[in-house]
Amino acid sequence: MEAWFDFLTIALIGSTSWLIAVRYIVSAIRWLSFQSVMLALYTFALAVQSGRPELYWIAIATLLVKAWLSPYILYRALRHVGIGRQAEKAFGRDLLIVGVLAMWLIGYYVTPQLDAAQGPNLYLSVAIGMLLSGVLIMITHQKAMMQGIGLIVIENGLFLAALSTSLGMPFMVDIGIFLDVLVIVVLIGALTLRMDEQFSSMNLEKLKRLRG
Amino acid sequence: MLPILVVAVPLLTALGCAMSKRPHHREMVHLLGSVVSMTVTLWLVWTVTAYGPYSALGQFFFIDPLSALILLITGIVSFSGALHSIGYVQREMQHGVLQDAQMRSYYAWFHGFVATMYFVPMVNNLGIVWVAIEATTITSAFLVALYRSAEALEAAWKYLILCSVGIAFALLGLIVLYSSSINVYGSANNRLDFTFLEQASRPLPMHLLLLAFVLVLVGYGTKVGLAPMHFWLPDAHSQAPSPISAMLSGALLSTALYGILRIVIIVDHAGGSSFVSHVSLAFGLLSLVVAFPFLLLQHDIKRMLAFSSVEQMGILVFGIGIGGPDGFLAALLQMFNHAMTKSTLFMTAGNFVQHYGTKNMQRMGGGLRKLPFTGAVFLIATIALVGAPPFALFTSEFALSAAGFASNHPFATVIFLFLLAAMFGVIIYQAGRILFAKAPGHERHVTTDPWTTWPLLIPLSFVVVLGVFIPHSLQMLFHQAALVLGGRMP
C-alpha cells in the first residue's frame, strides 16, 4: 500500500509542477483533471486502508466534482472564448520550474510536526507545496482562467492536507467544501465570459481601473 | 426549529423573487420575506438573551449570546437594506441602469446572501462555519458584479479570487486544529465543534494552536479587510449597489470577524492569550495606519466609506488585542455601533450618488440643501462615525481606550488615540465637501421616494439612542456575549 501512496504522491507533484509551465489553457485544464483523478485514487486507497465507508463517498465526490464537472465547466467557458488561448506567463518557463521547486522545498521545511510519535508527515509537506504552487500559478499568470485553475490547485492541496493528517475533514464539511468549489468554478467561468465580452480579452492587464 | 426557519425564510424568499414574473410582485415577495425573516431572527435572538444558548438538530446548530449578537447585527442591517433596496432599485430601473432580469437576480441573490450570513453564526462545527463564510463570498460576488460594467467585473473578480485564496489559509488552520484535536482526543463527530473545543479539558499542543490561530487570522482577516489583506475591499464595497455595500460593510465584515472570535476563544482557553493579544494589536494598528492616507486623498464617496471600514475593523481587532472583560465588551459594542453607522452612511451615499449621478465627491456639493433629509442623516452619522459624543461610537471607543490604559498596553493605546484623532479630522473634512461646498451645475432630477429615506432611520436610531441609553435586554446581550468571548460560557 505504501508504494501505491508514494506513486500517487509523485503523480501529484509531477502534475502540479507541469501545470505551471503549460503553454495552452486547455492543457492546463486537462492536467487539473488528471491531478484530481490522482487525488480521488489517493482517497480510495486511504478508504481501503482505513476501512472507513465515508471515504469511499468522498472519493466518488472528488471524481465527480473535481475531476469531471469542474474541468468540464471551465472547458465549456474556454470553448466560448476560443480554445486556442495561451496561458501567458509573466516569467519564462525555466524560471517557473525553479519557482515551483522552491515551493516544494518551502513546503517541506515549514511543515509542522503534528504528532511527535509519528515523525514528519511527508504527505502534508506535499500538500503545503501544492498549496504554495497554486498561489504561484495565480501570481505568475495573466489570464483570468489560469487564476481560477490556480485556485482549484490550492483547494486540492488543502484536500490532501486534510486527508493526510486526519483522514479528511468531517463528512459534512467535506461535502460543503465540494459544493463551494463547484459554485466558485461556475462563477469563474461566468466572470471570464463576461470579461471576454467586455474587454475582448481575459487578460488581467485590463483590470486596472480601480486604484487608490 | 427556529434556526432552520432563520435560514429557510430568506432562501424561500430568494426562490419566490426568482420565480415571480412582474416587478411589482417581486417587490411584494421581497418585502414580505424581509419582514418575516426579521421577525424570526429577532425571536431567536430574544430567546437566547432570555433563556441562554439554543441548540437544534442535536448540536448542529448552537446559538450562544455571541452568535445571537452577530445575528442581531445581520438582521437589522439586512432589514433596513431590504427596505432601502425597494426605492434604490426602482430608481435604477427608471434611469435605465438596471434591466428587469438584473432586478430579478438582485432580489434573488440578496436573500441568498442574507441566508448564508445567518447560517455562519448559527452552526457549531467550525468547518461548516468556514463553508458558510465561503458561501457568503460567492453569493455576494454575484451582487458585486450586478452592474456588469468593467469596474464592477474587476471588483467582483478581485473579491472572489482574493477572498477565496485568503480563506483557503483559514481552512488550513482549521485542518491543523482538527488534526491536533483528533490526536489528543481520538476521532469523533464533535472534534471540530466550538462547544467542544472551547471547553476542552486536556490542552491541545500550543504550537499547533498558535499556528492555527495565525492561519485563521490571516484567512478570515482577508475577508474582514484587515491591512495588508484589504485590497479587494474598497473595490467591492464601492462597486456593489449601495444597499449591498451597506450589508457588506455592516453585516458581512462582522460575520467574518465572528470566525476569528471563535478561534480567539479557543486559544485563550488554552492559555495562549498573550500571543493572541500582541498579534491582534499589531494587525489593528496596521489597519488604522494603512487606511489613513487613502481616506485623506479619496474622491470617491463609497471608497472613502470603504476605507473607513478598514479603519473600523482595525479598531475592533485592536479591541480584541486589549482583551479582558472590559476590552471585549467595548469591542463588541464597537462592532454593533459600526455596523449601524456604516450601513446608514452607505445608504445615504446611495441617495447622493443617484442624485448627482456620480460617486466623485468633488462633483457633489450643497448636499445638505439639495437633499435635506439624506444630508441631515449623513451629517449625524458622520459625526457619530468619527466618535464624537453623544453618539454610540463615542461610548464604545471611550470604553476601549479606558480598557487599553487599564490593561498593560498604554503605549499602543496612545498610538491608537492619535490615529483616531487624525481620522476624526479627515472624515469631517471629507463630509464637509459634500454637505457644505457650493453645489455644482450638474444634477439629475430624482423624485424623493419614501423607500429611500425613512429606512435610514432604523440603523440611525440605534446610533443616536445607544449613545445615551442602552436598553436592559440589549445590555444583557452585550454582557453575555462579552462573557462568551472571555471564555466564560453563561
Query: What does the pLDDT look like over A9-63, one tens digit per residue?
Result: 999 999 999 888 888 899 999 999 999 999 999 999 999 998 889 999 999 999 9
**How close, in Å, is residue A7 to chain B by CA atoms?**
24
Distance of alpha carbon B274 from alpha carbon B281, whole angstroms: 11
What residues are paired with A141 via a beta bridge? A89
Contact between chains at A151 and B142 (C-beta distance less than 8 A): no
**Cross-chain residue pair A169–B148, CB shorter than 8 Å:** no
Q: Do A114 and B168 touch (CB under 8 A)?
A: no
Greatest pairwise CA separation for chain A in angstroms: 57
The three-state secondary structure class of B433 is: helix
Q: Is residue A211 part of a domain?
A: no
Q: What is the DSSP letter of B57?
A: T
Chain B nearest-CA residue for A164: B179
Disruptive mutation site among A54, A139, A154, A173 for chain B (greatest number of B CBs within 10 Å): A173
**What pLDDT, on a 0 to 100 scale, did the predictor assign at position A5?**
87
pLDDT tens, position by position, A111-152: 877 766 666 688 889 999 999 999 999 988 888 889 889 999
Output the nine-digit C-alpha cell for B106: 438582485
Q: Please judge whether B171 and A114 are an interchain contact, meaning their C-beta atoms are less than 8 angstroms apart.
A: no
Angle (CA) A37 A39 A44, round 5°:
95
What distance in Å separates the CA atoms of residue A68 and residue B213, rounded to the nearest whole number?
35
Residues 231-260 of B with CB under 8 A from A: 234-235, 238-239
> Which grid cell is A205?
492587464
Q: Do A212 and B211 touch (CB under 8 A)?
A: no
What are the backbone dihedrals phi and psi of residue B344, each rounded to the nearest 5 degrees, phi first? Answer: -55, -50
Residue A115 domain-assigned?
yes
Total domain count, chain A: 1
| Tens digits of residue pLDDT in B429-452 | 988 888 888 777 666 666 678 899
CA dihedral A8, A11, A16, A21 (to 10 degrees): 180
CA B418 to each of CA A63, B264, B429: distance values in angstroms, whole numbers, following the listed order = 56, 27, 17
Task: Provide the 10 A C-beta neighbour count for residue B4.
Answer: 14
Closest approach of A90 to chain B, Cα-based (Å): 18
Report yes or no on A212 lying in a domain. Answer: no
Q: Which residues contact B276 (CB under 8 A, 6 or more apart)?
A: B213, B264, B267, B268, B320, B321, B323
- Find the CB nearest A147 among B161, B192, B239: B161
Whether B112 has its CB under 8 Å from any CB of chain A: the answer is no
Residue A1 pLDDT class (50, 70, 90 cuts): confident
Half-sphere exposure of B490 (CA within 13 A, CB side): 21
Residue of A nearest to B190 (CA): A170
State the average pLDDT over residues A142-170.
90
Domain residues for the domain of A23 are 2-206
Partner residue facing B157 (CB), from A144, A176, A179: A144
Which residues in chain B have their CB less than 8 angstroms from residue A199's CB? 150
Cβ pair A184:B164 closer than 8 A: yes
Residue A106 lies in a domain: yes
* Segments of chain B with pLDDT less than 50: none
Position A169 in a domain: yes
Contact B148/A183, CB-based, under 8 Å?
A: no
pLDDT value at position B236? 95
| ipTM of predicted assembly, 2 dp | 0.93
Residues 6 or more apart whose CB falls under 8 angstroms from that of B72 comprise B41, B42, B45, B336, B477
The alpha-helical segments, DSSP class H, found in B95-205 are: 100-122, 126-144, 150-185, 194-197
What pLDDT score does B446 carry? 66
- Does A123 reside within a domain? yes
Judged by CB atoms within 8 Å, which residues 286-315 of B form the interface with A? 294, 297-298, 303
Mutation for testing the A interface, residue in B151, B161, B163, B169 having most A CBs under 10 Å: B161
Q: Do B175 and A169 touch (CB under 8 A)?
A: yes
The pLDDT value given to residue B438 = 79
Shortest distance between the Cα of A70 and any Cα of chain B, in A, equals: 16
**d(CA B64, nearest CA chain A) in Å:** 21
Cβ atoms of B98 and B92 within 8 Å: the answer is yes
Average pLDDT over residues A180-191: 92
Query: CB pairs below 8 Å between A and B: how many?
Result: 125
Say which residues have a Cβ less than 8 Å from residue B392's Cβ, sequence separation at least 6.
B333, B336, B337, B340, B341, B384, B462, B463, B464, B465, B466, B467
Using the beta-carbon criterion (under 8 Å), do B172 and A166 form an inter-chain contact? no
Whether chain A has a CB inside 8 Å of the CB on B164: the answer is yes
CB of B218 less than 8 A from some CB of A: no
